[in-house]
Amino acid sequence: MNKTLTTIILVAVASLAPLAASAQTPVWNDIKGEEKIALETKGDVGRGAVGFEACQGCHRKDASGRVSGAYPRLSGQHATVVIKQIADIRAGRRINPKMEPYSDDHALTPYQIADIAAYLQSLPISADNGKGPGTAGAAGKQLYDKDCATCHGDAGEGNAAKFYPMVAAQHYHYLLRELFYIRDARRANANPMMVKVIKSYGDADLEALADYMAQLPPPRK
């Protein structure tokens, strides 16, 4: 009820804003509704730690995820990135049936999302992530420096202000799966700029990229 009302108000406010921004390219991150609420909430790390308990069954107690890549590492990830991704999953912009019942609006409020995101960002990053074969790192670095570093950072640290995720020290198999999804238009909330960049990439290129990113050490914060 409350949420619906908030949405109505936000939509009403948004409609008064100049339309210039939305006229250019398809909007990848149209910040409104609960994503806006969560972003504007100062997340509480202590409350986030309690909220995250329900996520530990998959993402592990230290939020290191699974080496298999089934669940990504979330420790140290930018709070903005976590908020955007959960908001996208809740809105159906990113399809994630495994996570959906544990993150949708009967499980979490936007305020709790902000808390959990703040908590995750505060966690130390383990270097024990799942690595790739380690043989394609050099080729991967070449591609990364040319096409990825501008957004995801030279060290894979991402960009909190722009909602670009940290990719360094992420599990190889998770990186690989998402790269395939993004290239093959199977990740609905992929950034169109990124899709354009990697559209021409072959499978071996994606493997090399994932191999390289998984080897990048946890960025200094």
- What is the C-alpha to C-alpha distance for residues 176 and 34, in angstroms, rounded to an integer? 30
| Phi and psi based region of residue 196 (left: phi greater than 0; alpha: psi -120 to 50; beta: remaining) | alpha
* Residues 23-62, mask of contacts with other proteins (x by CB under 8 A): ------------------------------xxxxxx-xx-
- What is the C-alpha to C-alpha distance for residues 193 and 36, in angstroms, rounded to an integer? 22
Size of site (CB under 8 A) for other proteins: 20
Nearer to other proteins, 102 or 127 (CB): 102
- What is the C-alpha to C-alpha distance for residues 164 and 29, in angstroms, rounded to an integer? 11
Least distance (Å) between residue 183 CB and other proteins: 23
Check binding of 98 to other proteins (CB under 8 A): yes
Number of residues that this document lists for the chain: 221
Nearer to other proteins, 31 or 99 (CB): 99
Residues forming a β-bridge with 147: none
The number of beta carbons lying within 10 Å of the beta carbon of residue 155 is 15
Nearer to other proteins, 58 or 195 (CB): 58
Q: Output Rg (C-alpha) for the chain, integer angstroms.
A: 18
Least distance (Å) between residue 101 CB and other proteins: 4
Check binding of 67 to other proteins (CB under 8 A): no
Nearer to other proteins, 70 or 160 (CB): 70
Residues forming a β-bridge with 164: 159
9-17, 25-33, 66-74, 132-140 -> range binding other proteins (CB under 8 A): 66-74
Could you tell me how far CA 87 lies from the centroid of its own chain? Answer: 11
Site residues, other proteins (CB under 8 A): 53-58, 60-61, 66, 68, 70-71, 97-99, 101-102, 106-108
